[in-house]
Amino acid sequence: EPQPTVVPSCPLPGKICHVARSERPRSCCGMAMAGFRTAKYQVPEWHRRNAGVYYKAFSAGEQAERGRAEAQHLMKHAAASAQRAQEHSKTTLGQRLQDIHFWRVELQKEIMELDAETNLLAAQKLRLERALDATEVPYSVVIDNLECRERRQPPDLVIDEVERQLLKEADLIRDIRDLLKRTIIQATTQIRSNRIQKENCELDWSDKVESYHIDDKCVSYCTDSTNVQFHPSSVKFEENASTPKSWAQFSHDNISSAEQEKLASVQLRSLINSIIHDASEDLRMQRAAVNEAFDNRCRELDDAKLRLEQHLQQILKDIADEEANIVNLKKSIRDKEAHLKVAHTRLFDRSFRPNIELCRDEPQFRLISEVEELTVFLEALKRKLMESEQNLKNLEETRMKLEKEIAVKANSIFIDRQKCMSYRVRYPVDLEVASYK
């Protein structure tokens, strides 16, 4: 309470009293009795003074009676007005309690729905993370297939359909992984927004609960309550106090924001389902395309290897026939050379015939013709032997090439079938199913 005002002490001023002079006629007693005569009143004055006292007493009584009547009326009016004001305040507080209860229920409902939606979105985010982890195995399988096929030997080191499908599959998996990572970030952001909005609604809800308890306690107050007292400083409007419109608008905005975040979360969950389903279908279709390309390529390699083996068998047979032919040619050349030796020896011996006996007779012509004929045959046989030897060399080279090609095809078949296709068994069957495990 404020301290009383302190008045500095000082001497009081003297009061000058003025005494009215009496206008009464002087008595005949003289100046000696003047002091006694000034202190007395006349009888009319005494009557008039008594009449004035009576009048003042009557007036005071009437005024007191009128004041008592007014006080009685004022007390009755004040009591009725106070009772009406208290009842009206109680009714207003009751309506306020209904408004607070309404918004509190709405906020609590929104908090529960937003919390449930956040949990569902968190589960979808977990599915995304598991799906992202599940793509590591397909990606490692594809990279391993590409690396294994790099070990093919040059004749088969071609950019075939399998290579194109594997590169397409690798690009598809990288795109899916990037999409899943971006969606995980988006889901994390949405979960954070949901929780922030939920926290705002919870703060508003807790304020509503506290305000409800306060107003409910205020409704229970009455004149017989023992815990009521004066609080003069509270009879004012706070500067930061809200209006009923802004108060309702605040809760409405919180609920509206929560509904927007919940709708965005629902749409994101639907998008996540679509992404996982589409990614699973794309991977399944691409996996089937790669497996089909591997099957076709392996069949082509098997056919090529089979044809090469058939050609190799034919080449081996041709080599054997050519070797036998070369042996026969050499034997034939040796036989013809033996006949040529005989013819040359006969001609040589006949060149020693004496004198006239050195005749160009029919045997001489026949021997010379035989030599010429044998020489022509020998040259032809030798040429044919050279051709056969060259053909044998070519056949040997062809055999080596065929054997090398067969080995290359066997290596390619081993890589594609044993290394790649057997390793692709680890490829997950369904990415959508893997996202739940």
Q: DSSP letters of 192-246?
A: HHHHHHHHHHHHHHHHHHHHHHHHHHHHH--TT-SS----GGGSS--TTPPPHHH
Confidence check: pLDDT of 44 > 50: yes
Please state, in angstroms and rounded to a whole number, the distance separating the CA atoms of residues 256 and 110.
10
Determine how many CB atoms are found less than 10 A away from the CB of residue 204. 21
**CA 206 vs CA 192, 193, 332, 406: distances in Å:** 21, 20, 119, 82
Domain annotation covers residue 381: yes
Per-residue pLDDT at 307 exceeds 50: yes
Tell me what the mean pLDDT of segment 166-184 comes to.
93
Contact 228, 217 (CB under 8 A): no
- Helices (runs of H) and strands (runs of E) counted in the chain: 8, 0
Task: Tell whether the model's pLDDT for residue 38 goes beyond 60.
Answer: no
Helix 161-220 to helix 43-134 angle (10° resolution) is: 160
pLDDT of 30 above 80: no
Tokens of 227: 């815990």
The token duo for 159 is 């950019």
Assigned domain for 134 exists: no
- Amino acid in position 307: R
Q: Residue holding tokens 């080596």?
A: 400
Q: Which helix (H) or strand (E) holds 351?
A: none
- Pair 228, 221: CB distance under 8 Å: yes
Q: Is-contact 162 149, C-beta < 8 A?
A: yes
pLDDT bracket for residue 12 (50, 70, 90): very low
Rounded to the nearest 10°, the torsion over CA 118, 121, 126, 130 is 180
Q: Are 183 and 275 in contact (CB under 8 A)?
A: yes
Query: Does residue 64 lie within any of the structural domains?
Result: no
Q: What is the pLDDT of residues 264-301, one digit of tens each?
A: 999 999 999 999 999 989 988 988 999 899 899 999 98
What is the mean predicted confidence (pLDDT) over 45-73? 88
Domain assignment present for residue 45? The answer is: no
Domain extent at residue 333: 305-352+359-436
Q: How far is the C-alpha of 179 from the C-alpha of 279, rounded, in Å? A: 9
Is residue 430 over pLDDT 90? no
Distance between CA atoms of residues 153 and 409, nearest Å? 9
Domain count, the chain: 1
Nearest CA-CA partner of 218 in 79, 84, 95, 78:
95
d(CA 243, CA 250): 10
Give the gyration radius of the chain's Cα atoms.
65
Which of 144-158, 235-249, 383-397 is least confident?
235-249
The answer to whether residue 163 scores a pLDDT higher than 70 is yes
In a domain? residue 235: no
Q: What is the pTM for the complete model shown?
A: 0.70
Assigned domain for 268 exists: no
**28 pLDDT above the threshold of 60:** no
What pLDDT shows up at residue 209?
Answer: 93
260: which residues sit within 8 A by CB, 6+ positions away? Answer: none
Residue 211, judged by CB atoms within 10 A of its CB (0-12, 13-18, 19+), counts as middle
Question: Residues 72-90: pLDDT tens digits?
Answer: 998 898 889 888 888 888 8
Name the least confident of 41-45, 67-71, 377-381. 41-45
| Cβ proximity of 152 and 430 under 8 Å | no
In the predicted structure, residue 218 carries a pLDDT above the cut 70: yes
Answer whether 165's CB lies under 8 Å from 289's CB. yes
Report the SS3 class of residue 359: coil
* Residue at 311 is within a domain: yes
**Mean per-residue pLDDT over the chain, rounded:** 85
Establish if 92 belongs to a structural domain: no
Terminal Cα distance for the chain, rounded: 73
What percent of the chain lies above the pLDDT cut of 90? 37
Rounded-to-integer distance, Cα 301 and Cα 269, Å:
47
Position 7 confidence tier, pLDDT thresholds 50, 70, 90 = very low
Residues with Cβ < 8 Å from 326, sequence gap 6 or more?
385, 388, 389, 392
